[in-house]
Each structure stands twice: as C-alpha cells, then as structure tokens.
C-alpha cells in the first residue's frame, strides 16, 4: 500500500519519486503519517492557493507550527486581517530601496568568499551561506550583529520537527523562544532610540491611523528572522548544490553572470527549499473523487507541483533555459513570499561574488545530511572542493603562451 510520510528521512533526502506517484495515482491523498491530505498536482495547488476562503492559513502554515504563531502574523492569517498586516509591513519594507542595498550586499559576499580563497575544501553552508545570510538580514533589518552561528542555528531549529513524534520538540520551541526574546530586545531598543531601519519602521508603520500591535510587531520580526535566515540560507545551499551537480549550467553562470537570474528561477522550480506548507479547510471540499472535510488539514506540496509534467515538460531535467514562469518556489497568490525581491537579488549577488573567487568546484560527499523538516528541504552540510588547474597544467599553459621560453 502506498504511503507518504513527510516526516521520513527518505523524503527529506529525495521526495521526488513519491511526489510522482502522488501526482499520477493519488492526486488527493490522505497521509496517515502527516494526519492531513496532500495535494501534489500543479493546478490543484494553484487553485487551493487562490481559494484562501476554503484553504485557510489561520491555523498555521508550517507543517508543524510553532506555538502562538497561528493567527498572528503574515503567513498565518487570512484576508482581510492578512492584507492589513501585509500592507503595513510592505509599507515599512518599501522605505528601504533595494538598489541601495546591492553594493553593501556584494561587499558582504566578497568578504565571505575571500576567506575561502586558499582552502582546499570548505562547507559552503557553515563557511559561506550562513555567514552571508545572517549578515545580510541583519543589515537589511538594521539589527546589531550577534553571533552568526547562534542566530542561524536557532532559525534552523525553528523550522525543524522531531521525526519520531511528528511534532516540534522542546529544542525547537526553545529556539523560537530565544528568537522572540532577541527580537523583543531589539524592538524595545528601537522604541527607546528610533533608527532609519526596518524594525523601527515596523514598530511605527501606520496606514490611516492603523498600526501593528505589540504581538504583531514581535511575531512579524521573529518570523522575518526565521524566514530571512533559514529560507534564504536554505535556498542558497540548494542553488550551490545544483551548480555543483550541473557543471554546464555553472560554467554558463560564471562566464555570463547575467545567466544567474535564469539559474535561480530554475532552482526555485527544480528544488525549492520551501517544499510543503499547510492549510485548513473551512468547508467540505471534493477533489478527484475524495471528499475532504471541514477542519481537515491539507498539505500543499509546492515541490511536487513544480515537477508536474502536466505543467513543465521533462520536469526532472535541470535546464536554466526552460520557461519557469508560474513556478511555486515562493508559493503564490495572497501569501506569495514577501522576500522574493531581496532573496533573488541577494542570491544573485552572493553567487557572483563567490564565483569571482571560486569559479570551479565539485561536491565532496555523495550522501548529504538532510535537515529533518516536513516543511523545508536543504542539506545541513555541503562540502565543496575548488577545482584549480594542476601545477602541470599551469606550467604547460605558461610555456605554451610564452614565446620567450
């Protein structure tokens, strides 16, 4: 009998064969292990995203939700409450002009890449992407820099779950509490001493006399820290993994950095780090002959929809020249990721800076340790080895191009 367990380490490592069975044979599937329905075809997922009146986010959107988040922040509310929050937060966001951030972000990436220049191998995640994402997010949000590894480790724990209990464990909840305390201390500081930064703008954002209340400011800031650090870092690791595994695509991106834009979209389609989010039914709903009941939870498998052959020809082929329009790497409809522009720009700038120092590299380990998370998918470690010309090749090169010898 077919089973689909989004908590299983096998699904963390490679969900794609099971996604195919889901799409072909069980397009509306009750997963006993997850305790929810799973929608896996592109059209069904898009329809559910658009029909937020039936597929509600108000009971949480992460497959295993953190306590107190449901109903209190962007990803966990429905319109009109959601639209009010999104309006206020976007208002704060657009006061920061993205263009002015590109140069400082490049500087952050170039400094992190320079530290790797002489290394024979390194962990892309620990030595590059986590340093980069935390520094960028802190610059964007205007936070004082604390220990990068601590912030990243807490953000990662927040999105994980215990594969044995299918729920958040004490360590995941403690990480959430740590992040909330940290966010609260910064909010308090900004209230005492306002700055021209995003947290101050959140705290003060006002449209027609309406403002975010204390709990909304706190949970929004905490969610942005988690989304910013984990989602951005997780996706960067997936992107680097793709470029390591598909050297033709990498060479194109190195030789013509403007191709990075295409490659990023293809990686968001091919293996977004944001694989599965959940909704809860506000009424009975029948699909493919199955009746889902009011109150049931439903998993929207973005990662599967992006590989649906009904939408994308040869979906398992990584092709940076394909049409990726409509991919659900950032979700869609009213809950489309708020960080799309900053994420696209940061990843492009970071990989360009990385390639300026390390243009050629390969993966060292065949088997990767995958994060235990039913919502997100990314490796916990990605060891890369720069491939440099051997000394022999070097001297041949020098001799061949030097007529004096």
**Residues at the site binding ligand HEM, with contacts judged by CB under 6 A:** 57, 61, 74-75, 86, 223-224, 227-228, 231-232, 235, 272-274, 277, 302, 329-331, 335, 337-339, 342-343
CB of 223 to ligand HEM, least distance (A): 6
Structure tokens at 172: 């995941």
CB of 267 to ligand HEM, least distance (A): 9
Please, which residue, 201 or 385, has the CB nearer to ligand HEM? 201
CB of 271 to ligand HEM, least distance (A): 10
HSE value, Cβ hemisphere, 13 Å, CA-based, for 186: 27
Q: Give residue number: closest CB to ligand HEM.
A: 339
Please, which residue, 125 or 400, has the CB nearer to ligand HEM? 125
Give all strands of the β-sheet with 122-123 in edge-to-edge order. 122-123, 383-386, 361-363
Closest CA to 219 of 181, 165, 264: 181
CB of 77 to ligand HEM, least distance (A): 8
Please, which residue, 140 or 244, has the CB nearer to ligand HEM? 140
User: Three-class SS of residue 385?
Assistant: strand
Please, which residue, 31 or 77, has the CB nearer to ligand HEM? 77
CB of 388 to ligand HEM, least distance (A): 30
HSE value, Cβ hemisphere, 13 Å, CA-based, for 160: 23
CB of 177 to ligand HEM, least distance (A): 20
Please, which residue, 123 or 230, has the CB nearer to ligand HEM? 230
Please, which residue, 27 or 332, has the CB nearer to ligand HEM? 332
Q: How far is 319 from 41, CA to CA, in rounded Å?
A: 21
Q: How far is 97 from 5, CA to CA, in rounded Å?
A: 42
Q: Tokens 């794609």 sit at which residue?
A: 16
For residue 56, give the H/E element and its range.
Answer: strand 55-56
Please, which residue, 148 or 171, has the CB nearer to ligand HEM? 148
Residue positions counted in the chain: 405
Closest CA to 176 of 155, 204, 200: 155
Question: b/e string for 362-388 if b means 16 or more Cβ within 10 A?
Answer: ebeeeebebbbbbbbbbbbebbbbbee
CB of 49 to ligand HEM, least distance (A): 7
Please, which residue, 120 or 318, has the CB nearer to ligand HEM? 318
Q: How far is CA 68 from CA 173, 187, 240, in A?
A: 11, 19, 34
Please, which residue, 70 or 292, has the CB nearer to ligand HEM? 70
Please, which residue, 246 or 302, has the CB nearer to ligand HEM? 302
CB of 38 to ligand HEM, least distance (A): 15
Q: How far is 125 from 271, CA to CA, in rounded Å?
A: 17
Q: Tokens 């929207």 sit at which residue?
A: 300
CB of 389 to ligand HEM, least distance (A): 33
Please, what is the Cα angle at 215 between 212 and 221, to 5 degrees?
Answer: 80
Structure tokens at 351: 């990989």
CB of 26 to ligand HEM, least distance (A): 22
Could you say which DSSP state residue 386 is in?
A: E
**378 touches 237 (CB < 8 A):** yes
């Amino acid at each position: 009998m077919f089973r689909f367990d989004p908590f299983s380490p096998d699904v963390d490592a490679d969900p794609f064969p099971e996604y195919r069975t889901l799409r072909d044979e069980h397009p509306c599937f009750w997963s006993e292990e997850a305790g929810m329905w799973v929608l896996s075809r592109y059209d069904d997922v898009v329809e559910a995203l658009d029909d937020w009146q039936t597929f509600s986010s108000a009971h949480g959107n992460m497959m295993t939700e953190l306590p107190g988040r449901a109903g209190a922040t962007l990803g966990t509310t429905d319109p009109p409450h959601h639209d009010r929050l999104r309006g206020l937060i976007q208002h704060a966001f657009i006061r920061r002009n993205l263009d002015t951030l590109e140069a400082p972000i490049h500087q952050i990436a170039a400094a992190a890449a320079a530290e790797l220049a002489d290394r024979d191998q390194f962990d892309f995640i620990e030595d590059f992407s986590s340093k980069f994402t935390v520094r960028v997010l802190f610059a964007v949000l205007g936070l004082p820099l604390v220990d990068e590894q601590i912030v990243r480790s807490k953000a990662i724990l927040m999105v994980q779950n215990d594969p044995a209990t299918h729920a958040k464990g004490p360590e995941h909840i403690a990480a959430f509490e740590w992040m909330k305390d940290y966010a609260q201390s910064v909010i308090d500081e900004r209230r005492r001493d306002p700055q021209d930064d995003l947290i101050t703008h959140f705290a003060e954002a006002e449209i027609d006399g309406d403002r975010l209340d204390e709990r909304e400011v706190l949970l929004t800031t905490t969610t942005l820290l988690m989304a910013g650090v984990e989602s951005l870092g997780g996706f960067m690791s997936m992107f680097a993994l793709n470029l390591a595994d598909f050297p033709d695509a990498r060479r194109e991106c190195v030789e013509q950095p403007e191709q990075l834009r295409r490659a990023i979209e293809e990686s968001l389609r091919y293996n977004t780090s944001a694989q599965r989010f959940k909704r809860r039914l506000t009424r009975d709903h029948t699909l493919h002959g199955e009746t889902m009941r009011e109150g049931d939870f439903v998993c929207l498998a973005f990662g599967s929809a992006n590989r649906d052959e009904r939408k994308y020809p040869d979906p398992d082929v990584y092709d940076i020249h394909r049409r990726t329009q409509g991919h659900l790497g950032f979700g869609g409809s009213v809950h489309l990721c708020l960080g799309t522009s900053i994420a696209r720009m940061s990843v492009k700038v970071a990989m360009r800076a990385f390639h300026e120092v390390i243009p050629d590299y390969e993966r060292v380990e065949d088997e990767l340790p995958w994060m235990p998370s039913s919502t997100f998918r990314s490796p916990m470690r990605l060891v890369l080895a720069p491939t440099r010309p051997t000394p022999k090749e070097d001297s041949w090169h020098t001799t061949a191009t030097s007529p004096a010898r």
